[in-house]
Amino acid sequence: MALELRPNCEFCDIDLPPDSLEARICTFECTFCASCVETELSNVCPNCGGGFEKRPIRPKQEWRPGLSLAKRPASTTRHQLSYDKPDISAFSTRLRDTPPVAR
């Protein structure tokens, strides 16, 4: 299974195309923009409580057989949060002072 390259930020719904340098993901592939991760989420994934890292860029060119963006395209399924904003804010406040490695 390849990483699911999701098309949008779950918080603000901005587009995050596969070559975006602003995309951040948690280990479950929950996807947000860098701005929301920093200002709204304080590096706490609202879905799982984990931290975020920069999403890698899938190569456009097929350097190795079958492994390019064209052969393994990005997802087109937009995801939205299943928690409301007050819940997310409380969750992030609870966890943000604990580094991801200790959560």
Nearer to Zn ion, 61 or 82 (CB): 82
Decide whether 19 or 62 has the Cβ nearer to Zn ion: 19
Cα 101 from Cα 88, distance rounded (Å) = 20
Q: Is 67 in the site for Zn ion (CB under 5 A)?
A: no
What are the C-alpha distances in Å from 54 to residues 3, 13, 84?
13, 17, 25
Q: Is residue 48 within the footprint of Zn ion (CB under 5 A)? A: yes
In single-letter form, the type of residue at position 40 comes to E
Q: How many residues bind Zn ion (CB under 5 A)?
A: 11
Residues 4-43 that bind Zn ion (CB under 5 A): 9, 11-12, 26, 28, 30, 33, 36
What is the side-by-side strand order in the sheet with 31-33? 31-33, 23-25, 53-54
Q: List, in sequence order, every beta strand (DSSP E) within the chain.
A: 23-25, 31-33, 53-54
Q: How far is the CB of 41 from Zn ion (least distance, A)?
A: 9
Which residue number, 1 or 66, has a Cβ lying nearer to Zn ion?
A: 1
Residues forming the site for Zn ion (CB under 5 A) = 9, 11-12, 26, 28, 30, 33, 36, 45, 47-48
